[in-house]
Amino acid sequence: MGWQREQDKRLREFIKIIYHHHPYYHALMKKKGLKPEDFKKTSDLIKLPITYKKDVLKDPKKFVLQPKKDELKKTLGFKQKIKGLVNPGAIREQLSMEYQPTTFFSTSGRTGVPTPVFLTNYDLDKLKEYGVSDFINFAFRNAGIKKRVAQNTFPFAPHLAFWFSYIVARHLPKTFFYSFGTGRTELQADMIEKFKINILTGMPFYLKHLSEVAKDKEIKSRVKLVLLGGEGVPEGMKERIKNNLKSIGPEPVVKMTYASSEMKSVLMECAPSSGYHTHPELHYWEVVDKESLEPIGCDRPGVLVFSHLDSRGTVLLRYYTGDYVHKGITNKTCPHCGSKKPRITSDIERLVDMDKGLTSKKIKGNLVSLKTIDEVLSKFKKLKQYRVVITKKDPKDKLSMDELIIEAGIDKRVKNIKRVIQGIKNKFKAYTDITPIVKKVPSKEIYKKVMNTMKGVRVIDKRPT
Ligand SMILES: [Zn+2]
């Protein structure tokens, strides 16, 4: 735990800023009779309850650092105070750049309610600084690419993935980079050949589609590296992307990223399944038990919870990600790249109800993860597209039975549709103990619905809370 002392020190400094300038945590700490001195170590953060997305949604502005003039004096460093005496104008400008939000990102989430996360120039600088070094040290590592030509297919939206790629790419050496969003897929496939693209970035759902179109068009691919983000990726989907591209060019390396708007940061793999290299300077990670929510030590399975240690704009402490990590966080030196930063192991499942806290995370009494749903359904080669809707028998009645509907976009060439539908039902039941309702829906229609959410949301929870 080489980072512990450094993180403790950062927390001691940051908690003062939070106490004086953060409306939500100030009120919470007052209510609990806590002062900045009560947080000497990161382990003291347990004195605060877990923060859920629903808490932020109630009043997102309350989670933004908003220093008032009088309060500001209490958190200025010695050098800043001196500078303020000599040149008050300059310090005012500097503080305004540091604290004034300049943009926001939002997560559409599975329930479709976006949570805005505000960033200041301070945050954008961090995003750039860590992003540039992570791309070079981790993402591009061993990809065998000298001159990088990247096609970015993350959607044009206030999402972290798109802006992160754009902001960082401007500062990467020997890199030609352009963004196409999602859509105009035929043209995008042609561009892969024409521009001799060797790096593709995007959401797994879209890149699967694009790689299929490219394969059908028989373009010549030179893609050596695929960087996926924005959603959890089932192994089956990763394989399909890899195989589609391999059939028209070299076999690409597929690496994953782990990020959320709330984190204001992107964590990367340096090799497939190496684990995500964290930024211990920016976040303190905990693994908590999924039922009791007690911290259970890093290297055990549980739900990921993080606290910002160096951030402006929206600041979160003990934020519940809803992401379940099977092997926890490892502090061992990375066997691939030698990095000593802790790594969140690559096997992450997103619990379906992350947006709703813990009130209704079960479907028919079973805990179902997005990953299981994806793993099961992506195995059906005859299933071109799918979408899962979790609802109630009577959608207005909270207490009526849960229902799980699979919209199945079955390959047009399939003659015995009934058999495919029965196969899906059986397999799904075998893995999850839930018998789904399977409806045949045209693939194109499902694709449109899924991409409409801008995030490739394949599972929608429509149950009333
Ligand atoms: Zn590594």
What's the CATH fold of domain 362-461?
Answer: GMP Synthetase; Chain A, domain 3 (3.30.300)
- Bridge partners of 387? 407
Residue ranges of alpha helices (H) inside 289-409 are: 370-377
pTM: 0.80
Domain(s) of CATH 3.30.300.30: residues in the chain: 362-461
Q: What's the distance, CA 66 to chain centroid?
A: 26
CA dihedral 382, 384, 389, 393 (to 10 degrees): -40
User: Rg of the Cα trace of the chain?
Assistant: 23
Q: Which helix (H) or strand (E) holds 437?
A: strand 437-440
Reply yes or no on whether the pLDDT at 83 is more than 60: yes
**Model pLDDT, residue 369:** 67
Question: Are the C-beta atoms of residues 84 and 425 closer than 8 Å to each other?
Answer: no
Domain(s) of CATH 3.40.50.12780: residues in the chain: 107-272
**Model pLDDT, residue 351:** 65
pLDDT 10s digits, 268-311: 999 999 999 999 999 999 999 988 889 998 888 999 999 999 99
- Bridge partners of 266? 259
pLDDT 10s digits, 141-199: 999 898 999 999 988 878 898 999 999 999 999 999 999 888 889 999 999 999 999 99
pLDDT 10s digits, 115-135: 889 999 999 999 999 999 999
Query: What is the 337 CA–ligand 1 centroid distance (Å)?
Result: 4
Query: What is the 369 CA–ligand 1 centroid distance (Å)?
Result: 27
**How large is the average pLDDT for residues 422-446?**
86
**How large is the average pLDDT for residues 384-393?**
84
β strands within 70-193, DSSP E: 101-107, 115-120, 148-152, 175-179
Query: What is the 312 CA–ligand 1 centroid distance (Å)?
Result: 28
Question: Are the C-beta atoms of residues 94 and 243 closer than 8 Å to each other?
Answer: no
Query: What is the 28 CA–ligand 1 centroid distance (Å)?
Result: 38
- DSSP of 212-248: HHHHHHTPPP---EEEE-SS---HHHHHHHHHHHHTT
Query: What is the 135 CA–ligand 1 centroid distance (Å)?
Result: 12
Nearest residue to 304 (alpha-carbon basis) of 286, 329, 279: 286
CB atoms within 10 A of CB 69: 7
**How large is the average pLDDT for residues 79-92?**
82
Question: Are the C-beta atoms of residues 281 and 4 closer than 8 Å to each other?
Answer: no
pLDDT 10s digits, 201-243: 998 878 988 999 999 999 999 999 999 987 667 777 888 899 9
Question: Are the C-beta atoms of residues 192 and 200 closer than 8 Å to each other?
Answer: yes
In the structure, ligand 1 is a single-atom ion and the residues with CB under 5 Å from it are 270, 274, 334, 336-337, 339
**What single-letter DSSP state applies at residue 395?**
T
Query: What is the 134 CA–ligand 1 centroid distance (Å)?
Result: 10
Query: What is the 269 CA–ligand 1 centroid distance (Å)?
Result: 7
Question: What number of residues does the chain have?
Answer: 465
Reply yes or no on whether the pLDDT at 109 is more than 60: no
What's the CATH fold of domain 107-272?
Answer: Rossmann fold (3.40.50)
Query: What is the 340 CA–ligand 1 centroid distance (Å)?
Result: 8
d(CA 7, CA 27) in angstroms, rounded, equals: 24
d(CA 77, CA 58) in angstroms, rounded, equals: 33
d(CA 147, CA 137) in angstroms, rounded, equals: 16
Of 360 and 129, the structure prediction assigns the larger pLDDT to 129
Q: Which helix (H) or strand (E) holds 265?
A: strand 265-268
pLDDT 10s digits, 38-56: 999 999 999 999 999 889 9
